[in-house]
C-alpha cells in the first residue's frame, strides 16, 4: 500500500458518501498524487500498491462528480479500476481486458481533459515531502519536473514532523538557503549570493523592508499548507527585486468534509504552544466551506530576560457561486510581542582586539527593550472555469505590516576585559507600518496550433505600498554601560524625544504573458515576459517600459528524466545618482540555469541537478565626485556574479520513507573579488522520516542534519583595523519521534541541535554577532477529528 495515498485519505469510513456530487479541480499529471489529492478532497479512504500507478498518468478532473464518477474519470485509460469494500473504503486493481465491472466496482466514464490553473496541489494530508504541482514560476500549473527552474518545497507533513512552527525553521530545511541572525527579532535569508526580500502570499508578491522588519520573517506556520522557494530571478510574476530567490507562502484551504485538529505543546525555555484548526462545509451540499485556525505561543529563550508571545488567527471561506465559479475570501492576523529584544548582536571584539566571548545566555538588551511586529491581511479571489478549459482568476490582497519598537541594546564600543568598561547602548524608538494593496488578474488555458495543444497565460497586476515611520531619539539619556560583563539589562527606559518622520509610496504595475509550447511529445518550450512600471517619488525612482524576460525549455529523455534550461530576469530600481544628478538605471538581474530533473513513482519522488549563473548589473560604484546637490556620486558598473550547482531530492524514496535533501555549491564575485562570503559556498541538508510497521506500527522516527562550510567577512577590529573574521564550518543535527495511539491521537517529540553545538552568526557591518540556539526539545500532543 502506498503510504502517501493512505495518509492523504485517512478519514472515517465513507460508505454512502459517493452519492453526492462535489466540485473537483485536479490538473493532469501523474496518477498516484492525483488519486491522493482526490481522496483527501472527497474524504474517502483509498488504498493501493504504489506499483499499480507507477508510470501512469491521468487526464485530470474538473467539475462536479460523485466519488465513483470522479475515480473513473481519473482512472480513464489507465488499465485500472476502483473497488469499494463493505466498509465503504476504496482500493485499486487491474481492470480485465474485456469484462463488465465487477460487483462493487466503479463504472468507467469517458476521458476528461482539463488544464488546472490554481496554486498547485495541496500538500496537507498527502504524507509527502514533495509537491505535486506548483504555479509559482509562470502561473501555469506544472510539476517540479516540468518547471525549468530550481524549486524547493517544504510540505505540511515535513512541518508537522519536525515542529517547523516558524518560517525561520522552514528556511533551515530548505536546500540552498542560509540564515543570518541580526538580532532577536530579525533574520535575513540568503540564496545564491543575494538576500531574499521577495515574498509571495498565495502567489501575490510583497516586498520586505529588512531594516524596519514587520513580521515577514516571524510568520507562524499554523495557517500555511506549504512554503515554496523558487530559486534565481523571478521577475515575470514578482516585478522588482533581487535575483536570489522568492518565497511563496501558500495558505491552507477549506475542506469539503468536516475535519480538524487541536494540539498542545510544551518545550525547553518555558515554551508553550496551542493550536486549533477546524474546517468543513457550512451547508448540506458543501457548496460553502470554511476554515478557521487559531494558534498561540508563549516562549522564553536561551537569552536572559527574553520572552515572546505570538497569537495567530486565520479564517477563510469558499463558495461555489456556480459549478464553474469559485469565490474565496479570508483574513489573517498575527502579533509578535517580545520583551528583552536585542538590537544588533554582541560586540564582536573586546578592547584588546580579541574575540569577545560570552555565554550563550548573555543578552545585550535592556529588560524593557521590545520590537513588536504585527501583520493584518485581508484577501479575496474570484475564479471562473470556462467550458473550453480556460480559467480567469482575480486576486486581491490588502496587508498591513507594522512595528512598534522601543529599543536599547549594547552595541557601541568594545568592552575592556579588566573591568567591563568601554561600551554603551544603542537607543531608539520606531513606530511605523507598511500598507500594501495588490490586485492581479489573469486568464490561462489551452489552445490549438499546428495540430498541437499549447498553454497560455495573460495577466496584469497593480500594487501600492505606503510606508510611514516615526523615529525618536533618547534625549539626554546616558547610555554608558559601567560593566559589560556584569550587565543584567536593568536600566530605566529613556524619555523619547526629537521625533522625525519618514514616508515613502511605491507604485508597481505590470502586464505579463507566458506560453508553454508543445513542440513535440518530449519537448516543451516556455517563453514570456513582463512589461513593468515602477515609481517611488521619495527616492527619485521612476522606471517605465522595463521588460523582464522569461524563457525555458524541458526535454524528456524518458519517463523519469528530463533535461532543462532557463533564462530569467528581474530588476531593482536604485536611488544612487551620477555626477550630472541622473538616477542610475535599475539593477538588472539575469539568471541562467541548466540541468536535469527526475521524477519517480508517479511523482512521489522528485530530484534535480542544476548549474546556475546569476549576474546583477548596474551596480552603483562611487566615482569620488559629487552630485549637483553635493551628495556622493556613483557610476553603474558590472555587479555581482554568482556561479554554482545544486542537487536536491524529495519525496517517498521507499514505502513509508520520506526524504528531503540538498547540496549547494556557489561562489559570488565582484570584479574578481569574493563577495557575499557570509553566505557559505557549500552547504548540505538532509531530513528524513520512516514510518514503522508490524509490531511497531504507529511509530515514526526521523532525523536531520545541516552542514555549512566556513564563512568570513571584513570587520573593524579596535587594535588591528580592518581584519578578516572567519567562522568555522559546522554540523547541526535534529531528531524526532511520533507515536500514533490511534487514527485520532498522536504525540510527537522533536529535538533541535541534538548535540548542543555552540555556534554564532555574524552581522559584519555592525561588528556584532549572535549565538545560535542551543539544544531545544518540544513535546506536542495532537488530536485529529
Residue 98: pLDDT over 70:
no
pLDDT digits (tens, 9 = 90+) for 749-763: 999 999 999 999 999
**Does residue 2 fall inside a structural domain?**
no
Q: Give the CATH number, domain containing residue 671.
A: 2.40.170.20
Half-sphere exposure for 767 (CA within 13 Å, toward CB): 22
Residue 678: pLDDT over 60:
yes
CB atoms within 10 A of CB 495: 10
- Tell me if 216 sits within 8 A of 199, measured CB to CB: yes
Q: What is the mean pLDDT of the chain?
A: 90
| Angle, CA 210 vertex, CA 207 and CA 211 arms, to 5° | 130
- pLDDT band at residue 100 using 50, 70 and 90 as cut-offs: very low
**Does residue 381 fall inside a structural domain?**
yes
More confident residue, 77 or 581: 581
**Does residue 582 fall inside a structural domain?**
yes
DSSP conformational letter for 132: S
Closest C-alpha among 293, 297, 335 to residue 314: 293
**Does residue 693 fall inside a structural domain?**
yes
Last residue of a domain, one of 54, 70, 94: 94
At residue 15, the pLDDT reads 32
Q: What is the Cα–Cα distance from 261 to 275, expressed in whole angstroms?
A: 8
What nine digits make up the cell of 334? 498575527
At residue 265, the pLDDT reads 97
- pLDDT band at residue 96 using 50, 70 and 90 as cut-offs: low
DSSP conformational letter for 501: E
- pLDDT band at residue 87 using 50, 70 and 90 as cut-offs: low
Burial track 98-121 (b if 16+ CB lie within 10 A, e otherwise): eeeeeeebbebbeebebbbbbbbb
- Beta-strand pair 619-626/605-617: unpaired
At residue 5, the pLDDT reads 38
At residue 783, the pLDDT reads 97
Last residue of a domain, one of 94, 111, 141: 94
**φ and ψ at residue 37, rounded to 5 degrees:** -65, -40
At residue 110, the pLDDT reads 31
pLDDT digits (tens, 9 = 90+) for 410-447: 999 999 999 999 999 999 999 999 999 999 999 999 99
Closest C-alpha among 81, 72, 14 to residue 42: 14
Residue 529: pLDDT over 70:
yes
Strand order in the sheet with 90-94: 46-47, 90-94, 80-84
Q: Give the CATH number, domain containing residue 80.
A: 3.55.50.30
- Tell me if 373 sits within 8 A of 355, measured CB to CB: no
What nine digits make up the cell of 727? 567562522
Q: What is the Cα–Cα distance from 771 to 361, expressed in whole angstroms?
A: 8
At residue 239, the pLDDT reads 87
- Residue 190's contacts (CB-CB under 8 Å, 6 or more residues apart) are 177, 178, 179, 180, 196, 244, 676, 678, 679
- CA distances 253 to 35, 36, 258, 375, 691, Å, are 18, 16, 13, 20, 27
**φ and ψ at residue 160, rounded to 5 degrees:** -70, -40
At residue 16, the pLDDT reads 34
Residue 220: pLDDT over 90:
yes
pLDDT digits (tens, 9 = 90+) for 605-631: 999 999 999 999 998 888 888 999 888
**φ and ψ at residue 665, rounded to 5 degrees:** -125, 130
Residue 574: pLDDT over 50:
yes
**Does residue 750 fall inside a structural domain?**
yes
Q: What is the Cα–Cα distance from 515 to 783, expressed in whole angstroms?
A: 45
As a whole-number percent, the residues of the chain with pLDDT over 90 amount to 74
Last residue of a domain, one of 94, 120, 138: 94
- Residue 215's contacts (CB-CB under 8 Å, 6 or more residues apart) are 334, 336, 373, 374, 375, 401, 402, 403
Closest C-alpha among 258, 253, 198, 248 to residue 223: 253
Closest C-alpha among 309, 365, 313 to residue 338: 309
- What's the rounded mean pLDDT across residues 192-216? 88
**Does residue 554 fall inside a structural domain?**
yes
- pLDDT band at residue 13 using 50, 70 and 90 as cut-offs: very low
Lowest model confidence (mean pLDDT) among 196-210, 215-229, 376-390, 693-707: 196-210
- What's the rounded mean pLDDT across residues 483-509? 95
- Residue 749's contacts (CB-CB under 8 Å, 6 or more residues apart) are 736, 737, 738, 777, 778, 779, 780
Q: What is the Cα–Cα distance from 376 to 290, expressed in whole angstroms?
A: 19
Domain containing residue 462: 259-496+511-525+539-784
Residue 480: pLDDT over 90:
yes
**Does residue 218 fall inside a structural domain?**
no
- What's the rounded mean pLDDT across residues 490-515? 95
- Tell me if 191 sits within 8 A of 245, measured CB to CB: yes
pLDDT digits (tens, 9 = 90+) for 347-363: 999 999 999 999 999 99
**Does residue 30 fall inside a structural domain?**
yes
What nine digits make up the cell of 378? 485581508
- CA distances 439 to 15, 20, 251, 514, Å, are 43, 36, 17, 19
How many domains, in total, are found in the chain?
A: 2
Closest C-alpha among 686, 646, 685, 688 to residue 664: 646
As a whole-number percent, the residues of the chain with pLDDT over 70 amount to 94
Q: What is the Cα–Cα distance from 37 to 115, expressed in whole angstroms?
A: 16
Q: What is the Cα–Cα distance from 249 to 239, expressed in whole angstroms?
A: 17
- Residue 300's contacts (CB-CB under 8 Å, 6 or more residues apart) are 269, 270, 271, 306, 307
At residue 391, the pLDDT reads 94
DSSP-derived 3-state class of residue 540? coil
At residue 114, the pLDDT reads 27
At residue 761, the pLDDT reads 93
At residue 25, the pLDDT reads 77
Q: What is the Cα–Cα distance from 229 to 153, expressed in whole angstroms?
A: 6
Q: What is the Cα–Cα distance from 409 to 293, expressed in whole angstroms?
A: 35
pLDDT digits (tens, 9 = 90+) for 116-166: 337 888 999 889 999 989 999 999 999 999 999 999 999 999 999 999 999
pTM of the complete model: 0.85
At residue 207, the pLDDT reads 85
What nine digits make up the cell of 320? 461555489
Amino acid at each position: 500500500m502506498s503510504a502517501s495515498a493512505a495518509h492523504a485519505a485517512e478519514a472515517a469510513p465513507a460508505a454512502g458518501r459517493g452519492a453526492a456530487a462535489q466540485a473537483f479541480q485536479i490538473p493532469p499529471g501523474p496518477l498516484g498524487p492525483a488519486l491522493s489529492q482526490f481522496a483527501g478532497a472527497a474524504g474517502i479512504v483509498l488504498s493501493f500498491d504504489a506499483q499499480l500507478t507507477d508510470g501512469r498518468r491521468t487526464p485530470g478532473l474538473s467539475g462536479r462528480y460523485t466519488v465513483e464518477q470522479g475515480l473513473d474519470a481519473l482512472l480513464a485509460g489507465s488499465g485500472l479500476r476502483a473497488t469499494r469494500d463493505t466498509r465503504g473504503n476504496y482500493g485499486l486493481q487491474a481492470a480485465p481486458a474485456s469484462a463488465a465491472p465487477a460487483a462493487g466496482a466503479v463504472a468507467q466514464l469517458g476521458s476528461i481533459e482539463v488544464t488546472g490553473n490554481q496554486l498547485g496541489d495541496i500538500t496537507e494530508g498527502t504524507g509527502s515531502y514533495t509537491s505535486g504541482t506548483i504555479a509559482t514560476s509562470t502561473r501555469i500549473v506544472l510539476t517540479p519536473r516540468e518547471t525549468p527552474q530550481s524549486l524547493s518545497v517544504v510540505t505540511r507533513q515535513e512541518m508537522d514532523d519536525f515542529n517547523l512552527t516558524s518560517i525561520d525553521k522552514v528556511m533551515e530545511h530548505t536546500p540552498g538557503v542560509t540564515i543570518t541572525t541580526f538580532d532577536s527579532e530579525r533574520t535575513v535569508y540568503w540564496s545564491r549570493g543575494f538576500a531574499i526580500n521577495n515574498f509571495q502570499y498565495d502567489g501575490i508578491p510583497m516586498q520586505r523592508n529588512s531594516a524596519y522588519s514587520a513580521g515577514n520573517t516571524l510568520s507562524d506556520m499554523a495557517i500555511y499548507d506549504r512554503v515554496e522557494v523558487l530559486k534565481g530571478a523571478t521577475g515575470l510574476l514578482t516585478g522588482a527585486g533581487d535575483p536570489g530567490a522568492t518565497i511563496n507562502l501558500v495558505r491552507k484551504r477549506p475542506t469539503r468534509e468536516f475535519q480538524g485538529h487541536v494540539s498542545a505543546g510544551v518545550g525547553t525555555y518555558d515554551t508553550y504552544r496551542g493550536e486549533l484548526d477546524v474546517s468543513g462545509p457550512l451547508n448540506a451540499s458543501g457548496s460553502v466551506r470554511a476554515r478557521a485556525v487559531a494558534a498561540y505561543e508563549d516562549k522564553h529563550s536561551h537569552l536572559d530576560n527574553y520572552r515572546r508571545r505570538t497569537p495567530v488567527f486565520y479564517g477563510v471561506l469558499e463558495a461555489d457561486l456556480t459549478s464553474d465559479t469559485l469565490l474565496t475570501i479570508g483574513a489573517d492576523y498575527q502579533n509578535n510581542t517580545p520583551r528583552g529584544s536585542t538590537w544588533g548582536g554582541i560586540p564582536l571584539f573586546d578592547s584588546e582586539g580579541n574575540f569577545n566571548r560570552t555565554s550563550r545566555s548573555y543578552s545585550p538588551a535592556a529588560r524593557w527593550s521590545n520590537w513588536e511586529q504585527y501583520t493584518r491581511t485581508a484577501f479575496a479571489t474570484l475564479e471562473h472555469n470556462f467550458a473550453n478549459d480556460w480559467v480567469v482568476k482575480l486576486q486581491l490582497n490588502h496587508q498591513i505590516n507594522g512595528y512598534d519598537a522601543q529599543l536599547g541594546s549594547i552595541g557601541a564600543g568594545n568592552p575592556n576585559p579588566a573591568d567591563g568598561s568601554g561600551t554603551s547602548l544603542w537607543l531608539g524608538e520606531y513606530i511605523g507600518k507598511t500598507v500594501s494593496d495588490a490586485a492581479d488578474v489573469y486568464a490561462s488555458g489551452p489552445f490549438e496550433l499546428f495540430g498541437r495543444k499549447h498553454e497560455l497565460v495573460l495577466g496584469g497586476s497593480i500594487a501600492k505600498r505606503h510606508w510611514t515611520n516615526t523615529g525618536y531619539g533618547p534625549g539626554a539619556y546616558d547610555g554608558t554601560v559601567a560593566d559589560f560583563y556584569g550587565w543584567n539589562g536593568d536600566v530605566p527606559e529613556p524619555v523619547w524625544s526629537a521625533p522625525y518622520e519618514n514616508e515613502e509610496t511605491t507604485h508597481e504595475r505590470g502586464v505579463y504573458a507566458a506560453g508553454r509550447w508543445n513542440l513535440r511529445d518530449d519537448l516543451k518550450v516556455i517563453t514570456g515576459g513582463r512589461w513593468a512600471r515602477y515609481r517611488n517619488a521619495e527616492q527619485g525612482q521612476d522606471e517605465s517600459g522595463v521588460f523582464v524576460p522569461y524563457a525555458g525549455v524541458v526535454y524528456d529523455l524518458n519517463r523519469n528524466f528530463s533535461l532543462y534550461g532557463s533564462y530569467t530576469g528581474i530588476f531593482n530600481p536604485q536611488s544612487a545618482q551620477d555626477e550630472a544628478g541622473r538616477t542610475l538605471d535599475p539593477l538588472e538581474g539575469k539568471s541562467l540555469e541548466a540541468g536535469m530533473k527526475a521524477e519517480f513513482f508517479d511523482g512521489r519522488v522528485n530530484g534535480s541537478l542544476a548549474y546556475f549563473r546569476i549576474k546583477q548589473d548596474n551596480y552603483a560604484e562611487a566615482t569620488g565626485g559629487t552630485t549637483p546637490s553635493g551628495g556622493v556620486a556613483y557610476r553603474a558598473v558590472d555587479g555581482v556574479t554568482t556561479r554554482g550547482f545544486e542537487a536536491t531530492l524529495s519525496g517517498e524514496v521507499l514505502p513509508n520513507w520520506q526524504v528531503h535533501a540538498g547540496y549547494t555549491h556557489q561562489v559570488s564575485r565582484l570584479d574578481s573579488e569574493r563577495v557575499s562570503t557570509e553566505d557559505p559556498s557549500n552547504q548540505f541538508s538532509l531530513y528524513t522520516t520512516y514510518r514503522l510497521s508490524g509490531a511497531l506500527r504507529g511509530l515514526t522516527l526521523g532525523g536531520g542534519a545541516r552542514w555549512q562550510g566556513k564563512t568570513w567577512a571584513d570587520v573593524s577590529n579596535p587594535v588591528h583595523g580592518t581584519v578578516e573574521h572567519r567562522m568555522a564550518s559546522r554540523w547541526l543535527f535534529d531528531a524526532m519521534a511520533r507515536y500514533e495511539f490511534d487514527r485520532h491521537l498522536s504525540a510527537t517529540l522533536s529535538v533541535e541541535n541534538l548535540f548542543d553545538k555552540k555556534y554564532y552568526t555574524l552581522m559584519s557591518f555592525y561588528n556584532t554577532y549572535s549565538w545560535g540556539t542551543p539544544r531545544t526539545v518540544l513535546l506536542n500532543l495532537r488530536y485529529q477529528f
